[in-house]
């Protein structure tokens, strides 16, 4: 059985462009987003036996309920699926709306320890260089990304690619490490349709606000950040995945 690919993320995170690159041709419409995303409903295509699914974002207030319904439909038909959440990183800051999307969506699934991956897309060159070193700054960002209820060591950083920057409906060959992660290293989840409930949108704004405060505290409180990091490293297989999949040196931990 082929794994299906489900991408969930807010407007401007680059879901559709990334899906086009994975498929190898323009099948999902892309373009510059100013607050409201181009994707308004579930879009999907079958390619070489796998289903690739693009969903609208919960942060888009104009289509939030519609987006939640589209994500629910995708989860209920996903079967064996790689679930990717898109997260933005700008000047070392993680967007609380992106983490709130992860928490809100996973809250709707009546399962424990759902495997999922995080894609940090369009990382500017200086920040990407720091992430590539996989040192202290990398660990700090991994900790910030994992500051919500659900955590994962499966994280990939994708640099800003000049050939895609602010261009519509482009498709290129992804960097080999990114392609390998998305296709082979990212974990799969089997989500029975009956375990997927209606996404609880009434909690979304509250979760965004709580996570914004939490992220700000972690950025300004080194002791709190260090404690959060230490708790992460104690989770089963977290360090193992960081070393063997993400490529971090064990000596840096």
pLDDT over 90 percentage in the chain:
58
Residue 45 reports pLDDT greater than 60? yes
Alpha carbons 70 and 197: distance in angstroms, whole number: 12
Tally the residues of the chain. 253
Alpha carbons 198 and 200: distance in angstroms, whole number: 6
Strand, coil or helix: what is 19? Answer: helix
Handedness of CA 19, 59, 188, 79 (dihedral sign): negative
Nearest to 191 by CA among 78, 35, 62: 78
Q: Which pLDDT value is given to residue 40?
A: 61
- Between the alpha carbon of residue 74 and those of residues 10, 69, 80, 192, 232, the distances in Å are 16, 9, 12, 12, 29
Tokens in use for 29? 């419409």
Alpha carbons 28 and 120: distance in angstroms, whole number: 20
| DSSP annotation of 34 | B
In this prediction, residues 37-56 reach a mean pLDDT of 82
In this prediction, residues 86-102 reach a mean pLDDT of 93
Strand, coil or helix: what is 134? Answer: coil
Residue 36 reports pLDDT greater than 70? no
Residue 20 reports pLDDT greater than 60? yes
Q: Which pLDDT value is given to residue 214?
A: 96
| DSSP annotation of 119 | E
In the chain, the domains with their CATH numbers are 4-252 (3.40.50)
Alpha carbons 24 and 17: distance in angstroms, whole number: 10
Q: Is 0.85 surpassed by the pTM of this model?
A: yes
């Amino acid at each position: 059985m082929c794994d299906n690919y489900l991408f969930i993320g807010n407007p401007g995170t680059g879901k559709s462009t990334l899906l086009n690159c994975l498929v190898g041709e323009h099948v999902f419409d892309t373009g510059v987003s100013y607050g409201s995303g181009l994707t308004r409903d579930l879009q999907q295509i079958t390619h070489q036996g796998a289903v690739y699914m693009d969903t609208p974002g919960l942060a888009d207030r104009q289509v939030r309920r519609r987006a939640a319904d589209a994500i629910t439909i995708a989860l209920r038909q996903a079967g064996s699926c790689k679930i990717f959440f898109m997260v933005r990183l700008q000047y070392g800051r993680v967007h609380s709306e992106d983490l709130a999307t992860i928490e809100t969506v996973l809250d709707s699934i009546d399962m424990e320890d759902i495997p999922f991956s995080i894609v940090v897309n369009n990382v500017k060159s200086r920040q990407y260089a720091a992430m590539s070193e996989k040192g202290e700054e990398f660990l700090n960002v991994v900790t910030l990304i994992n500051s919500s209820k659900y955590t994962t060591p499966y994280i990939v950083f994708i640099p800003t690619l000049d050939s895609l920057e602010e261009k519509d409906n482009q498709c290129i060959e992804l960097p080999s490490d990114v392609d390998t992660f998305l296709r082979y290293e990212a974990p799969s989840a089997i989500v029975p349709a009956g375990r997927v409930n209606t996404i609880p949108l009434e909690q979304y704004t509250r979760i965004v606000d709580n996570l914004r405060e939490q992220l700000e505290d972690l950025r300004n409180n080194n002791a709190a950040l260090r404690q959060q990091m230490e708790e992460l490293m104690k989770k089963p297989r977290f360090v193992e995945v960081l070393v063997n999949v993400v490529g971090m040196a064990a000596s840096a931990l």
